[in-house]
Amino acid sequence: MNKKLAAALSGGAVLVLTLSGCSDDSDNKVNDWAKKVCDQVQPQLQKIANANASIQQQTADNSKPADVQKTDSAAFQQISQAYKALGSAVDSAGPPPVDDGETTQKEAVKELNASSAAYANLQKKVDDLNTKDQAKFADGLKDIADELNKISTNGDQALKKLQSGEVGSAMAKQKGCQKPTAPASPSAGTSKSASPSQDSKDSQDSKSSEDPKDAKKASSSASPSEKS
């Protein structure tokens, strides 16, 4: 039910996640600018990664609509706040010391703020979904996933420009502007379910270590998200 959203999120473009390489062509002023931005970027990239991970964990076919709604709403709010903070980071750093830097900076900030507003709007739409009718809820999620695809594929030209040339090379060298290696564990309030593969492994381990009667009792008392 939530798989389309997870797929759309995984294909989304995020500031500086496309940066690569370790070029040393940039001068000190550009490097200083990149450091000023990237020092503020990493926590926001981690928030986005964590939000994406929480949505991924609610893709089981037996996930309850109310649980999916709660998780997706919190994730979209978190992503919206992260984009807003990314826009503030680029804005507070001032224009990069390169040709047409001021225009590039302003356009990038504009795009980041627009993404923040778009995710805030998605949060409102998720909150308004009917969780008591599973068919309607699934249709609503599909519409949100379609909208998410549009957000992910449109309106990132200024960000691409910011990540190119001398500025892009300088940002690529900064640890703070590199993609998080792995998302941190989501908070307990976001999602308690493990990945499907982990659920299966845990189930097998439990069955092998318990008496059949005890296993039956555990199975009957487990929460829906823990059952396979």
**CATH for 3-185?**
1.20.1420
The pTM for the full model equals 0.71
Based on its alpha-carbon atoms, the radius of gyration of the chain, rounded to whole angstroms, reads: 21
Contact 114, 129 (CB under 8 A): no
Residue 28: other Cβ atoms inside 10 A: 9
- On the question of pLDDT at 132 being above 50, the answer is yes
Cα separation, 99 vs 186, in Å, equals: 41
Residue 160 has pLDDT above 90, yes or no: no
* Residue ranges, CATH 1.20.1420, the chain: 3-185
Q: Is 19 exposed, middle or buried (0-12, 13-18, 19+ CB in 10 A)?
A: buried
What CA–CA distance (Å, rounded) separates 190 from 186? 6
pLDDT tens-digit readout, 54-72: 998 887 777 899 999 999 9
- Least-confidence region, from 159-168, 180-189, 207-216: 207-216
Residue 178 DSSP symbol: S
Contact yes or no for 11/156 (Cβ under 8 A)? no
Dump pLDDT digits (tens) for 95-105.
999 888 899 99
Q: What is the DSSP letter of 9?
A: H
Mean pLDDT for all residues in the chain: 75
Q: Could you tell me the CA-to-CA distances from 90 to 1, 127, 147, 202, 222 in Å, in that order?
A: 36, 30, 26, 44, 47
